[in-house]
Amino acid sequence: MTITEKILADHAGLVEVHPGQLISARVDVVLGNDITAPVAIEQFATLGADRVFDPQRVILVPDHFTPNKDIKSAEQVKKVREFAREHGTVYFEVGQMGIEHCLLPEQGLVVPGDLIIGADSHTCTYGALGALATGVGSTDMAAAMATGQTWFRVPSTLKFVFYGHLPPWVGGKDLILYTIGQIGVDGAQYQAMEFTGETIAELSMDGRFTMANMAVEAGAKNGIFAADAKTISYIGERARRPFKVYRSDPDAEYAAVYEFDVRNLEPQVAFPFLPENVKPVSQAGPVEIAQVVIGSCTNGRLEDLALAARVLQGHQVHRDVRLIVIPGTQEIYLAAMRQGYIETFITAGAAVSTPTCGPCLGGHMGILAKGERAVSTTNRNFVGRMGHPESEVYLANPAVAAASAILGRIASPEEVV
């Protein structure tokens, strides 16, 4: 079996499972945020449940519209806060919180071998740890909060093997954008994406989180990496409970195997209005921009901020560009401040925000007006994703985003460093 199949089999109490099989499985973590949890809380009440299955495994993180941007968002968070207090669930308040998919791994709340569901599509981020993590609807979240179980159709697995050392300025964001460009936004529809190869072995944990995060942009059920020494080193000092490492069997069956030589890969840019509409940065052409966003659950980690600061050091943000930097968590914010990155951003002319999803989903902290273009390290660039339906979002890694903020157009970091 593959890693994904093994995790599902163990959590279903079965010796083995097969793609297409319907199973009921226990879950290790149930996650909700300030948009999805209120609906789940209402559904939880209709079930007649008087307690959650395990308060330490139900995690509620208000991150999308927080700090509250208006009365409606304040009421949403209030409902989540009161539920968390009533049931004793894990809850993170403003000032201690972060963007959920940056926060949970950092806090050791998700570990290798877990089966994790979250009422947010980018829950697949935790696959970087060797966990099976996937997004669900709020109703499924409600049932899982009450029972500690949910149902799955076992996905088939696609294997992606990457060869070669990555060139300068190329990282996990470029690998996943390139991959989505090759297979399309429906190329892994309800399948597991398993990432491996010598390139992946060299990739940092932050780079792996970025790749797993965007598996859903290819339509995948989950993205997953085999836990290795880097994973154990990362989670070893954080994990709050024991964990189990799974690996695919040598004779595991895959629906397809893709092999990519990335030795000459350039930084990638996804043009509107799909993450599959990918071009190398050298082929971007003269695209003038009004805004740059560096952050989100995709690229708001310390390595991302370090990369952006390296490019911005000694430069100024273009007079026609708004640069918004959003650290993924308070811990990341503090580390970036101690290492001088925050000073670099502010000196260059950027606005630095407390952790929030904010502009990624067109929520707040950087909404685009009609006709404006943004380069963003976020994960989606659909019509109207960051604001007006006639605005445009171009997805890129933090180095490209920083270079673009300096030059006022889509640019390679090699143009400024």
**Which carries the bigger pLDDT value, residue 360 or residue 260?**
260
**How many CB atoms within 10 Å of residue 389?**
10
Q: What is the DSSP string of 214-232?
A: GGGGGT-SEEEE---HHHH
pLDDT at 177 over 90: yes
* Contact present, 377 and 304 (Cβ < 8 Å): yes
CA distances in angstroms from 312 to 178, 292, 348, 365, 379, listed in the order given:
25, 13, 7, 21, 22
User: What pLDDT band is residue 168 in, cutting at 50, 70 and 90?
Assistant: very high
Q: How many helices (H) and strands (E) does the chain have?
A: 14, 18
Nearest to 77 by CA among 189, 69, 186: 69
Cα distance between residue 186 and residue 127, in whole Å: 19
Sign of CA dihedral 47, 51, 53, 59: positive
* Topology agreement, domain 3-259 and domain 268-415: yes
What is the amino acid identity at position 344?
Answer: T
Is the pLDDT at 202 greater than 90? The verdict is: yes
Strand partners, 269: 279
Q: What's the confidence (pLDDT) of residue 176? A: 98
Question: DSSP 3-state assignment of 338?
Answer: helix
Alpha-carbon separation of residue 191 from 18, 210, 218, 313, 368 (angstroms): 12, 18, 9, 42, 34
**Where does 112-228 have alpha helices with state H?**
138-147, 172-183, 198-202, 205-213
Q: Give the pLDDT score at 70.
A: 94
Residues 273-296: tens digit of each pLDDT: 999 999 999 999 999 999 999 999
Tokens of 359: 């502009």
User: Using one digit for the tens of pLDDT, what is the confidence trace for 13-22?
Assistant: 999 999 999 9
Q: 383-410 pLDDT, tens per residue? A: 899 899 999 999 999 999 999 999 999 9
Region 298-325 average pLDDT: 97
Q: How far apart are CA 32 and CA 142, in angstroms?
A: 10
Quick count: other Cβ atoms within 10 Å of Cβ 98? Answer: 25
- Rounded Cα–Cα distance for residues 64 and 36 (Å): 10
* Burial per residue of 274-308, b for 16 or more beta-carbon CB atoms within 10 angstroms, e otherwise: bbbbbbbbeebeeeebbbbbbbbbbbbbbbbbbbb
Global pTM reads: 0.95
Task: Note whether 93 and 112 are within 8 A (CB).
Answer: no
Q: What are the beta bridge partners of residue 257?
A: 159
> Which pLDDT does position 383 carry in this prediction?
86
CATH fold, domain 268-415, is Aconitase; domain 3 (3.30.499)
Average pLDDT of every residue of the chain:
96
Domain boundaries, the chain: 3-259, 268-415
CA distance 173 to 307: 12
Q: Report how far residue 320's alpha carbon sits from residue 408's, in angstroms, rounded to the nearest whole number.
A: 7
Taking residues 331-335, what's their average pLDDT?
97
Phi, psi of 280 (to 5 degrees): -65, 150
pLDDT higher than 90, residue 327: yes
Task: Report the alpha-carbon distance of residue 177 to residue 207 in Å, rounded.
Answer: 12
| pLDDT tens, position by position, 207-259 | 999 999 999 999 999 999 999 999 999 998 899 899 999 999 999 999 999 99
Per-residue pLDDT at 15: 96
Structure tokens at 201: 């072995």
CB atoms within 10 A of CB 394: 23
Report the pLDDT value the prediction gives residue 237, as an integer from 0 to 100.
84
Query: With 90 as the cut, is the pLDDT of residue 97 above it?
Result: no
What homologous superfamily is domain 3-259 in, according to CATH?
A: Aconitase, domain 3 (3.30.499.10)
Q: Over 90: is that where the pLDDT of 299 sits?
A: yes
- Quick: pLDDT tens for 119-146: 999 999 999 999 999 999 999 999 999 9
- From CA 309, how far away is CA 352, in angstroms rounded? 12
User: Average pLDDT of 85-96?
Assistant: 94
